[in-house]
Amino acid sequence: MDLLYSTPIQGAGEDKLSWGNPDSKAFTVKQYDRSLSSPSIRSFPWKCVWKSKVPPKVAFFSWTATLGKILTIDNLRKRGLILVDWCYLCRESGESPDHLLLHCKVARELWDLVLGLFGVHWVMTRTVFDLFSTWQGPFGSRRNTLVWRAVPHCVIWCLWRERNARHFEDTKLSIPDLKIQLFQLLYEWIKGMGGSSINSHAQIAHLWAVFTWFEAISGLKVNLAKSEMVPVGVVGEFGGADGYSNLFSFPIPSSGRRGNSVRKASTGFPLEWARFNKALRGKWLWRYGMEREAYWRQVVEIKYGRMWGGWCTKECQGLYGVSVWKSIHKEWGCFLPFLSYRVGAGDNVRFWHDTWCNGLPLKVLYPKLFSIARDKDTSVAALMSFSNGTLHWDVSFSRNVQDWELESLVAFMDLIYSQSLDGTGQDQLCWNKMEKKGFSVKSFYHCLNPPSLRFPWRGIWKSKVPPRVAFFMWTAVLGKLPTIDNLRKRNMVIINRCCLCKTAAESVDHLFLHCNLAKELWDSVLSSFGVYWLMPCQVRLLVDCWQGGLGRQRISLIWKAIPHCLMWCLWRERNLRSFEDLETGSLDLKLLFFRTLIEWLNATRCYSFSSPQDLLNSCNSLDH
């Protein structure tokens, strides 16, 4: 009764409907949608996932990880695969997206490192979804906020790459190397945000943080004044702004500040930090062989002993003491092939084993003569003598030389007698790559990191094709498509036979390049454009050498989309035959290719083709 009497009623006028939400005076679709939505449903953190300045493939991976849909062991077991549920990183718990990317031991070490460098104390969330939902930038400037937003993408991407490397390639990075890889990847992304727009003072502070990071990861202290490697101590404070100028004597990327920094083109940055660390150690191996009277060398030699000739110490096998020289000596095996010797008196150079003439050891040049040599470990001085200023060699063998060995013996004698030696002076080390200038860290780094075939990212991501097709092409170039050979590597029992030609085994390169149906389609398409093409052996080489345009800018967009479209049609045909038991004829497949290509080109609004003949006529008219 109290409720009824408390309700205000006028008793006059028409009855009307009113919207029951007190926050809104009138009905709106937006208010009704909010009323239907459960308050427990959280909004997807799309802004942190898609608005971060990271590569599109990384943003796509972060989106998949946030949804919990990446192919971890627990998700594969839900699909019926029989697999052992354990984490490939820590090898302890079951593998799930949240455990792998957040709670694994390896993941926790990376997260602690990154958050510690930013000075942030963070209680790790339970899921990846919660991580991106709560990842708010703690910095004021827009640039620092962009860097902060890229951090979770970088960490989980490095963890996923390492997990796949251990699973599929049976390779494993140590924790320090994984931290270096994380730092290198984050540096590349930060550089892509526009490194030249930051002011000098802030950039110097950033570089100082980089060196602090390098010291923490590699276990080395960077001597900024001499750019040398010294044992680890307490990292001291860097006093005064004047000391910052010493940073630029170290080979780091220039950021707009003028100074005595090495140019980016000459250093080849971004550096492979693990190999650069080896190059720094090689500097000490070089100094050990050259500075025979140095006090530090004598101390090291007394502790570890010396090898034949005194060019390096014996192998460090002790389990005690400081391990600085142990880590340096480990690089002797990869350092030795780039060394040669200039013979003086010849007491410290081995005749057969060392490189002192013709760029290779004599045991490699003349293996048959080396096998019958009487003394295989003798020095050059023991076999060399002078009579009236004339050089004589006393090389003895354990048996007489056979007839078929005479030619080799004559060439051997001609070589050693062609050397200009006087038997005096001190034996010296020579650096093969720069014999006149001598050893340098830069030259050794280039020896360890020779130029290789770059990934053809421009041919994949810069083509005017749908994003999912570009992502498919990227996966195909990496050889990671779920073809039968890749599925068999995942312990699936499947007959390895190509669904298109039904004769050979199915692999990525065979399916898209060398299958009979694929070759027929390639020949037909290329002949339509008046091109004769020698097909490479790999999809990666095809994309790398597929130069677009045929001399015309307008044809360039068409030409660059051809491999994407053709391989997409082949993949669709393969899946139709595998899963739906449907088969398309060769002629229909060609028509499907041209229809798909025309749809993609018309979607760019640069073309308006109505038929395949219209497309070919346009290309031929522009070409002539």
Q: Which residue is listed with tokens 């490479």? A: 536
Helix (H, G, I), strand (E, B) or coil at 235: coil
123 versus 255: which is more confidently predicted?
123
- Residue located via tokens 């006090």: 295
Query: Cα separation of 373 and 383, whole Å?
Result: 12
The type of residue at 282 is: G
Quote the pLDDT of residue 6.
76
DSSP annotation of 549 reads: -
Q: What percent of the chain has pLDDT over 70?
A: 79
Q: Are strands 339-342 and 428-431 parallel, antiparallel or unpaired?
A: antiparallel
**Which range has the worst mean pLDDT, 57-61, 139-143, 150-154, 200-204?**
200-204
Alpha-carbon gap, residue 401 to 616, rounded angstroms = 72
Is 562:597 a contact under the CB 8 Å cutoff? yes
Residue 325 — pLDDT band, cuts 50, 70, 90?
A: confident
Residues 279 and 441 sit within 8 Å (Cβ to Cβ): yes
The residue that leads in pLDDT, 92 or 69, is 69
Q: What is the pLDDT of residue 113?
A: 82
184 in Cβ contact with 138 (< 8 Å):
no
Q: How many other CB atoms are there within 10 angstroms of residue 185's CB atom?
A: 21
Single-letter amino acid code for the residue at 303? K
CA–CA separation, 435 and 414 (whole Å): 24
**Chain centre distance of CA 460:** 17
* CB 424 within 8 Å of CB 394: no
- Helix, strand or coil for residue 217? helix
The pLDDT tens digits of the residues spanning 213-237 come to: 555 555 555 554 444 333 334 334 3
Residue 169 has pLDDT above 80, yes or no: yes
Say whether pLDDT at 31 is over 80: no
Residue 40 Cα distances to 34, 37, 134, 316, 610, angstroms: 12, 9, 16, 62, 51
Q: How many C-beta neighbours within 10 Å does residue 239 have?
A: 7
Please give the backbone phi and psi of residue 203, each rounded to the nearest 5 degrees, phi first: -65, -40
Domain ranges of the chain: 1-193, 274-341+432-448, 344-426, 457-623
Mean of pLDDT values over 203-219:
53
What is the token pair recorded at 492?
């699936």
pLDDT tens digits, one per residue of 510-551 = 999 999 999 999 998 888 877 888 888 999 999 988 875 555
pLDDT of residue 482: 93
Q: Give the separation between CA 111 and CA 122, rounded to whole angstroms.
A: 9
d(CA 484, CA 492): 9
| Percentage of residues in the chain having pLDDT higher than 90 | 17
Say if CB 362 and CB 370 are below 8 A apart.
Answer: yes
Instruction: For residue 205, give the 3-state DSSP assignment.
Output: helix
Q: Which candidate, 565, 563, 564, 548, places its Cα nearest to that of 619?
A: 548
Nearest Cα residue to 274 out of 182, 186, 191: 182
For the chain, the C-alpha Rg in angstroms (whole number) is: 34
Main-chain phi, psi angles of 90, to 5 degrees: -95, -20
Length of the chain: 624
- Give the Cβ contact number of residue 49 at 10 Å: 23
pLDDT tens by residue, 417-450: 888 888 888 888 888 877 667 888 888 888 887 7
Interacting residues of 305 by C-beta distance below 8 A, sequence separation 6+: 313, 314
pTM of structure: 0.40
Supply the pLDDT for residue 253: 35
Contact at 8 Å (CB) between 521 and 508? no
pLDDT for 467: 92
Segment 143-160 mean pLDDT: 85
The predicted-structure confidence for 4-24, as pLDDT tens digits, reads as follows 777 777 777 777 777 765 555
pLDDT interval class at 37 (50, 70, 90): low
Mean pLDDT of all residues in the chain?
78
Q: How confident is the model at residue 87 (pLDDT cuts 50, 70, 90)?
A: confident
**Which of the pair, 25 or 261, is modelled with greater confidence?**
25
pLDDT higher than 60, residue 191? yes
How far is 387 from 38, CA to CA, in rounded Å? 103
Is 150 within 8 Å of 49 (Cβ atoms)?
no
